Structures are given as structure tokens and as C-alpha cells.
Amino acid sequence: MAQTQGPPTVRRGPNAKAHPYPYEIAIRAQTFTVGATFYYAFADAAIGDYFKAVPDYYDRVRSLFLSRGLSADGWEVNWKAFEAYVNTFPNPIIQNALLTAIAHWDAYVSRLAAFVRFARRHVGSPGLAKKEMKALGRVAFLPVPEQLDALSTASGAVFPLEIPSVNSLYEMSLVRNLGVHCEWIVDSTYLAHSRSKQWSPGDLRTVAIAELEEWRVALTDVISATSRSIAAKYATAPDFIPSP
């Protein structure tokens, strides 16, 4: 089985003023969130252009699938389901880009929280109540503002974040929750928390490429700010080897 490639190595010099690990996971998260969002945007553009340029695209694609082992009956079943899916969700590629980007963000904050828990044992940090320790341990399951609060509270680091970036990430996570739990259908929970006023209950919450790019920029900004602050806070902590 192929091994998962780890984050790039960031070496620490003798007089380093920052711990390398937060930078390693930040580089990984930024690379993968950018790659994921652009991958789906690229696929959306490429597929649309192909369908427009190739008159017999249906027969070509069908032949390709059959040559790879799919039966004719299997093709018919899959194609009908595909038609139903794209007729219901008009931009699923971009919506899936959002889900993938959030997955890499969740992995990043989970790794950062694990590092903070480790580093607190070696560098003076704020005392935490039981509730605050619990929040740090389940940081990936919290709303974005609470994730940032949990990391800041546990480390004592102050994140130099722009409010628009935090708001964008929060909206991104709200839309992600709609996709995962409600098949993108706007509900009262989303409306109660979202700053967007263009949606009504029962609407299909679509995602435009420009909106996805706004969220991607916000992710990059927040990852940079949190990694820099925590790396500086725990510059003297020992090397951190995360659990597999």
C-alpha cells in the first residue's frame, strides 16, 4: 500500500524564532486547498468545453466506459442516475470542490490542535477549564469562529485576522453543512446564521466560482495567520512527531 506523503520538511536553525511544525502543516493545507478548488474548477471548465466542442460526446464517453469494463446495462443505469443528479444539482463540481477544501481545513486545524496540546506541556501556556480542553480536543467539529477561539485560548496566541476572512470561512462552513446534511437545500438553521440574504427556505444553495475563490483566499489567509502565531508562541517546544 502506498504511503501517504507527509508535509514538506521545514528545518529549524539553532536560533529559530518559530517552531517548524505549524509551517509544515500550513504549507500542506494551503497547497491542497488551492489544488482542490482549482482541480474542480478546471474540471468544470474542461468538461463543459468538451461537451460543446464534440458533437458526438455521448457516444465517445459511452464507448470509453464500455472499453473499461462497464456493461451496457450498467451504463444505462448510471447515465439515468447521472442525468437526475445534474438536473437536480446544476453545479455539483463546484459544490464538491467546497467539500474537499473544507476537509483539508479540518485536517489542518486538527493537526494544529494536536501540536498545541503537545507544546503546552513544554512552554508556559494559559490554564484551561475542562470545557476549554474538551473544545481543543474536538476542534474539527466546531464552527470556524469557535475553532479559532479554542486554538487562541489554549495557546495564548493572538491571530492577526481580518474580520472578512473569518466571516467568509464561517459562511463556507455553513454552506458545507447544507451540502452534507441537507443536500444543499436552504433551511432555517442556515438562514439563522448566514450573513447572505439572497436565499429563502427550500432554495438550492449553489456555489459560484467567484465565491469559491473568495473562500479559498480566506482559507489561505487564516491558515497563514494561525500557523505563524502558534509557531512563534511555541518556538522553543521540542520537535513534534504526530501520531500516525
**Rounded to 5 degrees, what are φ and ψ at 185?**
-85, 125
Residue 22 lies inside a defined structural domain of this protein: no
Cβ neighbour number for residue 127 with a 10 Å cutoff: 7
User: How far, in Å, CA of 203 to CA of 196, rounded?
Assistant: 13
Q: What is the pTM of this model?
A: 0.87
Is a pLDDT exceeding 80 seen at residue 243? no
Q: How far is 134 from 154, CA to CA, in rounded Å?
A: 11
Residues 31 and 109: their CA atoms lie apart, in Å, by 15
**For residue 190, is it within any domain?**
yes
In a domain, 145, yes or no: yes
Q: How far apart are CA 165 and CA 49, in angstroms?
A: 33
> Is 107 within the bounds of a domain?
yes
Quote the percentage of the chain above a pLDDT of 90.
Answer: 66
- Which amino acid makes up residue 9? T
Average pLDDT over residues 179-205: 94
* Interval 98-119: pLDDT, tens: 999 999 999 999 999 999 999 9
User: Does any domain span residue 188?
Assistant: yes
Residue 195 forms part of a structural domain: yes
Average pLDDT, the chain: 90
Domain tally for the chain? 1
Question: What average pLDDT does this structure show over 127-142?
Answer: 94
Q: Are 135 and 162 in contact (CB under 8 A)?
A: no
Domain that holds residue 106: 33-42+91-233
